[in-house]
Amino acid sequence: MQFKDIVGQETVKAHLIKTVKDGRISHAQLFLGPEGSGSLALAVAYAQYICCEQPSENDSCGECSSCRKYQKLVHPDLHFSYPFFAKHKEDTALTFVEEWRASFLQNPYLGLDEWRNHLSADNKQANINIAECHSIIQKLSLKPFEAEYKVLIMWLPEYLEKEGNALLKIIEEPAQKTLFLLVAQNQEQILNTIISRTQIVKIPKQSNTDVCKFLVEKHQLSEEKAMQLAYLSNGNLQAALTFMTHEENDYHDLLSNWLRACYGNQGLKLVAFVDDDFSKMGRENQKNLLRYGINLIRECMLFLAETPGLIHLSAKELEFISNFSKILNLAKAEAIANELEKAHYHIERNANPKILFLDVSLNLVKILKFNTLPTGTQYIL
């Protein structure tokens, strides 16, 4: 992975390159950025640049022995740690390393859901277990084999619980020429004892322009379609790729017909939606539909606030929100968005889709047809 292969983040790239040129490489760094920002890809490119045998001014050469091994993630001094779904207590990241390499090389912007799909996760919870911590200590106690630095890239250290305390000493006092790169999305979920031992590198979400350019150049989308997906993904490249793999019109038609049935209090039709459509979509498609709905309701809020310059939708979607907004106000729109966000949360946690979507449908009927906010709030006047 080279810096030139990573979408956007030019400021962060320049900062990382400067630390190498100035000889100010911190032994423990925390790359902190939202999902789809490219933080994991940046960590790999940074490590490759440090270990490159013939680096240029702004990037690794991509041709030396070290770079060729890095590009395949098989360099003997490059180690990865990540959440996994252990079947046995002795499982470590090495148990799943082939799946990990295939997943990252296919999509360097992957999120935990995409990683889960590459594994047989069943209903297990992802974590980084104590066996993995002991494995890290063992691997990093050895001297580098080929490169100047031995590198450990830990993806999502949020999934280190109290077991992470076993790593404190080696993070604080590592062997010479050992580099820890932690790649995280949520600082609040990381052990404070780990954060205090790292230098934080903040990575912002991608700009809409960079996401749009990526979709046009790498996936041959039209500029109009790419800009729409970039706007809906809100700087998350993984979300943009997920939206791209599905027909937005399918989501749009299903969502708009569902909301119309809720407004019309058409009980039998709502039951049919639940039985024939939602429950048969699969978990990822259910989540994508809800994400799409949340974004569309947000556009309705912008429309109600009379800010047309901030709305970037296709003509079909724009026509829908202009009509749908006639029966909304900001309080109703917020209540609907909250219902969809709660549903997304529960789908991620394997809720029964029939029960969940029927419950959401009935709540939307109360909001849209009977002008009643959910229990615990006030009535809409």
pLDDT over 90 (residue 176): no
Most confident of 111-115, 163-167, 211-215, 373-377: 211-215
pLDDT over 50 (residue 41): yes
pLDDT at 375: 62
Residues 168-186, mean pLDDT to the nearest whole number: 88
Share of the chain above pLDDT 70, in %: 93
**Other beta carbons less than 10 A from residue 375's beta carbon:** 7
Phi, psi angle pair for 263, to nearest 5°: -65, -35
pLDDT at 247: 47
- Averaged pLDDT score across all residues of the chain: 86
Q: Amino acid identity of 29?
A: Q
For residues 126 and 134, which has the higher predicted lDDT (pLDDT)?
134
Residues 356-365, mean pLDDT to the nearest whole number: 95
Angle among Cα 33, 226, 107 to the nearest 5 degrees reads: 45
Does residue 201 sit in helix, strand or coil? strand
Instruction: Kindly report, residue by residue over 189-215, the tens digit of the pLDDT.
Output: 888 888 888 899 999 998 888 888 888
Instruction: Kindly report, residue by residue over 318-342, the tens digit of the pLDDT.
Output: 788 889 989 999 899 999 999 999 9
pLDDT at 339: 94
- pLDDT class for 1, splitting at 50, 70, 90? confident
pLDDT over 80 (residue 232): no
Sheet holding 150-155, edge to edge: 78-81, 150-155, 178-184, 28-32, 199-202
Residues 42, 212 contacting (CB under 8 angstroms) = no
Considering Cα of 301, then 304, then 305, then 309, what sign does the dihedral take?
positive
- pLDDT class for 75, splitting at 50, 70, 90? very high
- pLDDT class for 314, splitting at 50, 70, 90? low
pLDDT over 80 (residue 228): no
Return the axis-axis angle of helices 237-244 and 223-233, rounded to nearest 10°. Answer: 130
Instruction: Kindly report, residue by residue over 92-110, the tens digit of the pLDDT.
Output: 888 888 988 998 998 899 8
- pLDDT class for 379, splitting at 50, 70, 90? very low
Considering Cα of 251, then 341, then 230, then 186, what sign does the dihedral take?
negative
What's the pTM?
Answer: 0.73
Residues 293, 301 contacting (CB under 8 angstroms) = no
**Other beta carbons less than 10 A from residue 250's beta carbon:** 12
Residues 148-172, mean pLDDT to the nearest whole number: 87
Does residue 154 sit in helix, strand or coil? strand
Domains detected in the chain: 3-204 (3.40.50.300), 246-370 (1.20.272)
Q: Residue 180: in which H helix or E strand, if any?
A: strand 178-184
pLDDT over 50 (residue 249): no
- pLDDT class for 50, splitting at 50, 70, 90? very high
- pLDDT class for 354, splitting at 50, 70, 90? very high
Residues 144, 77 contacting (CB under 8 angstroms) = yes
